[in-house]
Each structure stands twice: as structure tokens, then as C-alpha cells.
A and B are shown apart, each in its own frame.
Chain A
């Protein structure tokens, strides 16, 4: 895929660790994923509501979830997790493509949706990406998922492609300085 990126970088992202209170008054900690988180993430995705899957992920069986997480949690990827009362409730991943850019995706457990956790998680992950010297981030989102499109636009993503079922959106980060 040849992704177009906006010329103007978006700034103002803070990396992990961060803490915030969500719209429901829950204390959420956002931090980088460590190898100790793998089992808890598997559990989060096993519990994930199938209707909230996006383009085939997360996979539906535990075996497939583990295989998928192997890719997502690989060394060259960036992962940020939102933790409430000791367990992960949201997860942002940035996985490198073959062109030096990173694909972003986010999943938030159903009970934690609609409380601005997604926005905070994505912003924190972008802060981490900027800290790591990443400049180009893209994602795809299903056309009919207007809440997600609005969320990404608010963060600063721009629509860069809609040749297919999915919309493509991308964002440029400022070089870290």
C-alpha cells in the first residue's frame, strides 16, 4: 500500500506513563506493555465482544489470539495498555509496515467504551511513537464506523484514502526534539 501522509505534523502528544480519570470517574493508568502483560492481554481479547471486531481482528479463538499477539507484540512494534484496577481494559498497537511507517489499531473493552479512554490511549501511544522517532502513522477504519472516524479526526488524523470498504487515515508526527 502506498499511504499518503499529511505535510503538517501534529504535535502535543505526551508519552507513557500517564494517569487520568475517565468520564465515569475510573482511574486509568497508561503505560508501555511488558512481556508480563501477555497473559492478561490474551484474557482481555478472549472476553472481547465479537461485534466490536474490526476487519478480522482480534481473532475469535484463544489459539488465534495468541498467534496474532505474537505479531502485534513483536520487538519492533510499540504497545501501550490502559490499566484499571490491575487489569488491561484498552490496548493500542503500532506495528511497522514495509515502508518505515506504522499501522495503528486500538481496542477497548466494551464496559470501558464511551469514556474517552480510546482518545487518551491513542494520544499516549502517539507520544511514545514520537519519542521513538516515528514520523508516519496510518490506520484503516470501516467506513460505517463514524464514531471511530470522528475520534481519529479529533486527534489529528486525516482521511487519505477510501478506495475500498475501509477508510484510510494518516498522521505525521513532528521529529522528536
Chain B
């Protein structure tokens, strides 16, 4: 399978990426990491992602999504024939509520590609 994994640099997203790569190692899935940020520092997130991939010794392609990451994720997944979009399934608020950010909501509502949320 070809997976595109959206990573925003949050702790949850990095944990999700780790889960994806360790699973892909067994299944042989092809992984593309789509890096985006909520505060303009895509380069920092990309750096963190590349370090984690290197440390895990996992071969994945990395792309950055600058504007409208949600729209781009949906679009790229469709036009480039990915089988699945993978995202981390929401953050926890201080008192434990699950919070789904706007990227996640847009992708869930608009993707024709199957979406997996990792919690």
C-alpha cells in the first residue's frame, strides 16, 4: 500500500509517525510524509521528521505542505493515487478532551481516500 502521513510536528503526530513506520517495516508499505505546521515553521517540523526517520533507519519520502495543508493532503492523495491518508487522531486538552484540529476535520469530511486516525 502507498500511504501519505500528515505530520504537524506535535508529539502526537511524531508518535503516530513512529507507529506507521514500524508497521510499514513489516507490511512493506510505501510511506510519504507530508509535513505541515500551524505556525509557519515547516522547516523545523521537516527537520524533526527527517531526524526521526534517520534514527529509525526508515526510507520514506518527505514533502512539505506550505499553504492549506488540509486541501493539499486531500488533493495529493487523490491525484497521486495514494491508498490511504494517515493522521494522528487529535490532541488532548489539559483536562483530557479529545480535540480534532481543523486539518483533521477537513480531511475527514473531504477526502475520497480512506483516512486512518492513529490514537
Chain A residues near B (Cβ < 8 Å):
1, 54-57, 59, 68, 71-72, 77, 93, 95-98, 103, 105, 140, 163-166
Contacts and interface: CB of A to CB of B under 8 A. Distances in A.
Contacts of A56: 96-98
A108 to B, nearest CB: 16
A68 B96 CA distance: 7
A35 to B, nearest CB: 19
Interface in B74-101: 93-101
B94 A97 contact: yes
Contacts of B11: none
B97 A164 contact: no
B29 interface: no
- Majority secondary structure, A binding face: mixed
Contact of B93 (A59, A103, A163): A103
A57 B96 contact: yes
Contacts of A77: 95
B102 interface: yes
A89 to B, nearest CB: 20
B94 A166 contact: no
9 contacts: A1-B99, A56-B97, A57-B97, A71-B96, A72-B95, A95-B94, A103-B97, A164-B105, A165-B105
B94 A54 contact: no
B9 to A, nearest CB: 15
A78 B101 CA distance: 27
Nearest to A72: B95
Contacts of B96: 56-57, 59, 68, 71-72
Contacts of A165: 100, 105
Contact of A95 (B95, B98, B101, B104): B95
B102 A140 contact: no
A98 B94 CA distance: 8
Contact of B101 (A55, A96, A163): A163
Contacts of A71: 95-96
